């Protein structure tokens, strides 16, 4: 065995070029696999660690829970932790309405992140303590509230009771939210205070909970599990909801990320195995006679396999560790880019470590397994070599052997003929190299068809369809803890009234505003939103694609039909094209019965349902119920208009402001991140495959060194030698480009169409990625040209006598 190891080491030293190319392939493979794994691990860890921070650390909630039911639920084994929240009463404010007092226990505060919002002091512990947002205290007349101040609060527990004044001592303040336009009118009191106001039979709680580990729940089945649990607990299903995002990120972490990373890793492994195999295969063809001599000395098949295996593993032992560090750094940088993108969207996440020793060890193992997979066929070939046949072996065109043991020739031979003769002599190697290179570039072409067609401007217009700003109602549809945030309550006290619209029109720099009305309705206990679209809005949604059904604005008007807003979720939410809907539509001031057919679905509208403006008027809605406002500014006035808008909105609740410029910057960041990851992956795979082509050309020039010497001795010039080597490289390049275009263009267009159908970011209009294709062709031609020029110089460095005497 020691002799086999020495032979393997000697073989690697003897053919340094092959060894270097294989090590580069292994190193790049390990680097890519490490980067992919670290990025996937980091994305999953970021979701797990920050899921509770972003969405609350609870599985679901029940609303309207009585004291008796709460006591019964607390004894059930399905529940791991339970936190409760109760509304104590609505507060009368001097400037701001919809102020409220709540009572929330410690577990509920932890589950809903209120505990982390505590900026100063502590939460109420005794009967007369109060903690809240500073804007709450300012709204009831305390200009500069401080911890320890006594404050008078006028509140009532329900609409059947008058306001009563009570004295409280401020014990803490909560951190104000980041949105300047949002004023928080909430404060918290103690459990003692709540129980002193409500008799036991009057008490009602919103209950947040996590479940026992024995309950199988995740983002996929959470809604059904929570609904079944509510039924068994005697809770009305209308007041039960699952915390979908938390369940998806924390309990079924990153399924899409994991599958994507596994798929990318398998692609890398496939191309790496092909490249390493081809490099070894070419090396074996050169050393058939040498292996035959070793076999003739009594080496067994097992030892021959061991020889090839050790040659590969010796190189892997050096190359795999070299790929870990740069791969880890690249993966970490991609994770940090994603976190930075989240931060720009206002999602401040806790830092997570992307280092995982078991993960890196798995990558090392996969790296060695990749090399082993590439060596399997070469090991079988070498083990099957017959010593006698090996001694007589001479490679011939097409892999055939001449009965006389000589290669077929021609009477005359030019540069073109010489080049084609060499390539045809090794058809298998030539075709294999071209297809390996071609399919690696196909991956680049496919990703270029998607990444190159991502339009940040188009994506940004999904959020701000017109103009420079959009003001929208900020509402919920199933907030059991804070029902005043639900759309029906927001529409009833709509802040987007004519008074506000006139105020916006008066802002210097505002050129135009346009509005869109909103409605809502309750169906099966669920509150749904509805947009009222003009013909222009309707046609724009149709252009965005991903629709279900064949419909037009005119047809929707004629039938008085309704459209679903999100095609992807229509079936999941129990709706179907052609379904008859009998609804009670509410615009904030009155309700109107509606009966009509569900005509189809848009791909992703701003509301759950849509009707046309003409249908809206035909139902008798004459008064406006504005839900969205778009503002167009004069050139150069965007910043000052935004400042004025924020000042106006600072006095309002339930409004959100979106800026086209900020959405565009965010979309550009997201598109750039996607492109960088996909292009980096495909370029590195192409480099691994290029090493295969480099090995083919290098091996060809080395094995034909004697042939070149003889040809030059009889009159072949250096220019003709250069032309021959360049021609071989150009044939490989042309073959690669041909395979890339024939396979990559239809595959890329197909992926684009699929991405557009599922509303993938920025995909709308298809255009052929000319720039990316030209860059690919130029890069291939340049690399091939440099390689061929270098080989030509190396061949010419030796004298004719040395080349003629060369025997491999």
pLDDT at 185: 79
Rg (CA), the chain: 36
Kindly indicate the confidence band of residue 180, based on its pLDDT and cuts at 50, 70 and 90. Answer: very low
CA distance 178 to 174: 12
Q: pLDDT confidence of 414, banded at 50, 70, 90?
A: low
- CA atoms in the 13 A half-sphere facing the CB of 702: 17
d(CA 716, CA 710): 9
Pick 193 or 286 by higher pLDDT.
193
pLDDT band, very low/low/confident/very high, at 805 (cuts 50, 70, 90): low
What percent of the chain is modeled with pLDDT above 90? 32
pLDDT tens by residue, 646-688:
888 877 878 889 999 988 888 888 888 788 877 887 777 777 7
Q: What is the pLDDT of residues 609-657, one digit of tens each?
A: 999 999 999 998 877 889 999 999 998 899 999 999 988 887 787 888 9
Sign of CA pseudo-dihedral 463, 467, 471, 477 = negative
pLDDT, residue 404, reads 42
Taking the C-alpha atoms of residue 656 and residue 464, their distance in angstroms, rounded to an integer, is: 12
Question: Considering the entire predicted model, what is its pTM?
Answer: 0.65
pLDDT tier for residue 392 given thresholds of 50, 70 and 90: low
Query: How many residues would you count in the chain?
Result: 808
Q: Which residue shows structure tokens 């699952």?
A: 242
pLDDT of residue 402: 42
Structure tokens of 324? 């870990």
Q: What is the pLDDT of residue 557?
A: 94
Query: In 414-513, which residue ranges form alpha helices assigned H by DSSP?
Result: 415-425, 427-451, 456-463, 487-492, 498-505
Q: What is the pLDDT of residue 568?
A: 77
Distance CA 225, CA 229 (A): 6
72-88 per-position pLDDT tens digit? 999 999 999 999 999 99
595 CB burial (10 A radius; 0-12, 13-18, 19+): exposed
Q: Which two tokens stand for residue 576?
A: 């179907």
Q: Where are the beta strands (DSSP E) in 25-149?
A: 60-66, 79-91, 99-104, 118-121, 129-133
Q: Per residue in 228-284, pLDDT tens?
A: 999 999 998 878 889 988 888 888 766 666 777 788 788 888 878 877 887 777 777
Burial 9-41 (b: 16+ CB within 10 A, else e): eebbeebeebbbbbbbbbbbbbbbbbbbbbbbb
Query: Distance (Å, rounded) from C-alpha 566 to C-alpha 529?
Result: 12
Rounded distance, CA 692 to CA 421, Å?
21
Q: For tokens 């290098």, what's the residue?
A: 698
pLDDT tens sequence across 347-373: 677 788 888 999 999 999 999 999 999
* Residue pLDDT, tens place only, 424-476: 666 766 787 777 778 778 888 888 888 888 888 888 888 898 999 999 998 88
**Are β-strands 164-174 and 129-133 bridged in parallel, bridged antiparallel, or unpaired?**
parallel
Query: Would you say 526 and 477 are in contact if contact means Cβ atoms under 8 Å apart?
Result: yes
């Amino acid at each position: 065995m020691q002799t086999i190891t020495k032979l393997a080491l000697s073989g690697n030293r003897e053919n340094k070029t092959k060894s270097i190319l294989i090590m580069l392939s292994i190193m790049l493979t390990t680097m890519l696999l490490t980067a992919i794994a670290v990025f996937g691990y980091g994305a999953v860890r970021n979701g797990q660690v920050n899921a509770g921070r972003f969405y609350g650390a609870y599985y679901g909630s029940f609303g309207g829970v009585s004291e008796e039911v709460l006591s019964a639920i607390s004894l059930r084994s399905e529940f791991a932790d339970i936190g409760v929240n109760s509304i104590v009463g609505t507060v009368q404010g001097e400037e701001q309405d919809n102020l409220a007092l709540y009572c929330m226990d410690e577990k509920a505060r932890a589950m809903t992140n209120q505990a982390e919002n505590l900026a100063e002091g502590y939460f109420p512990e005794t009967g007369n303590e109060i903690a809240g947002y500073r804007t709450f205290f300012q709204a009831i007349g305390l200009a500069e509230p401080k911890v320890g101040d006594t404050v008078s609060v006028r509140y009532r527990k329900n609409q059947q009771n008058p306001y009563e004044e009570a004295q409280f001592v401020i014990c803490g303040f909560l951190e104000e939210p980041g949105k300047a336009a949002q004023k928080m009118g909430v404060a918290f009191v103690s459990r003692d205070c709540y129980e002193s106001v409500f008799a036991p039979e009057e008490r009602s709680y919103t209950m947040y909970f996590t479940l026992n580990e024995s309950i199988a729940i995740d983002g996929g089945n959470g809604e059904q599990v929570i609904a079944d649990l509510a039924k068994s607990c005697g809770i009305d299903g209308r007041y039960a909801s699952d915390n979908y995002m938390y369940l998806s990120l924390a309990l079924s972490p990153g399924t899409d990320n994991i599958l994507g990373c596994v798929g990318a890793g398998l692609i890398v492994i496939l191309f790496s195995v092909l490249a390493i195999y081809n490099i070894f295969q070419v090396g074996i063809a050169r050393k058939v006679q040498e292996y035959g001599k070793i076999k003739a000395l009594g080496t067994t098949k097992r030892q021959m396999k061991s020889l090839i295996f050790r040659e590969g593993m010796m190189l892997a032992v050096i190359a795999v560790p070299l790929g870990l560090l740069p791969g880890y750094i690249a993966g970490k940088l991609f994770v940090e880019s994603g976190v930075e993108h989240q931060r720009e969207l206002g999602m401040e996440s806790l830092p997570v470590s992307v280092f995982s020793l078991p993960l890196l060890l798995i990558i090392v193992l996969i790296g060695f397994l990749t090399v082993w997979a590439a060596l399997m066929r070469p090991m079988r070939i070498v083990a099957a070599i017959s010593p006698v046949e090996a001694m007589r072996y001479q490679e011939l065109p097409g892999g055939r052997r001449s009965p006389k043991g000589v290669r077929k020739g021609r009477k005359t031979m030019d540069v073109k003929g010489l080049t084609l003769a060499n390539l045809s002599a090794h058809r298998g190697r030539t075709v294999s190299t071209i297809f390996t290179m071609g399919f690696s570039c196909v991956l680049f072409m496919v990703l270029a068809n998607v990444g190159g067609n991502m339009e940040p401007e188009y994506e940004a217009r999904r959020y701000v369809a017109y103009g420079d700003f959009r003001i929208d109602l900020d509402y919920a549809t199933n907030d059991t803890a804070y029902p005043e945030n639900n759309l029906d309550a927001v529409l009833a006290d709509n802040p987007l009234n004519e008074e506000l619209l006139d105020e916006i029109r008066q802002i210097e720099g505002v050129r135009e505003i346009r509005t869109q009305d909103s409605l809502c309705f309750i169906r099966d206990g669920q509150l749904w939103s509805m947009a009222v679209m003009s013909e222009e809005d309707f046609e724009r949604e149709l252009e965005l694609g991903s629709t279900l059904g064949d419909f037009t604005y005119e047809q929707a008007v004629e039938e008085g039909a309704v459209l679903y807003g999100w095609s992807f979720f229509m079936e999941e939410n129990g709706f179907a094209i052609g379904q008859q809907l009998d609804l009670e539509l509410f615009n904030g001031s009155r309700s109107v019965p509606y009966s009509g057919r569900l005509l189809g679905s848009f791909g992703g509208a701003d509301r759950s349902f849509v009707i046309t403006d003409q249908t809206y008027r035909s139902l008798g809605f004459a008064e406006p119920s504005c839900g969205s406002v778009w503002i167009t500014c004069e050139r150069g006035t965007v910043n000052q208009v935004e400042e004025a808008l924020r000042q106006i909105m600072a006095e309002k609740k339930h409004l959100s402001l979106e800026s086209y410029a900020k959405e565009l910057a965010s979309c550009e960041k997201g598109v750039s991140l996607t492109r960088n990851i996909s292009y980096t992956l495909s370029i590195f795979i192409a480099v691994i495959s290029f090493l295969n082509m480099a090995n083919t050309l290098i091996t060809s020039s080395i094995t034909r060194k004697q042939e070149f010497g003889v040809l030059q001795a009889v009159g072949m010039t250096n220019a003709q030698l250069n032309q021959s080597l360049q021609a071989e490289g150009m044939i490989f390049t042309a073959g690669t480009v041909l395979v890339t275009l024939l396979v990559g263009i239809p595959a890329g267009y197909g992926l684009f169409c699929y991405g557009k159908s599922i509303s993938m970011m920025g995909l709308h209009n298809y255009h052929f990625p000319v720039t990316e294709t030209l860059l690919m062709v130029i890069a291939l031609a340049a690399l091939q040209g440099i390689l061929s020029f270098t080989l030509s110089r190396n061949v010419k460095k030796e004298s004719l006598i040395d080349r003629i005497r060369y025997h491999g």
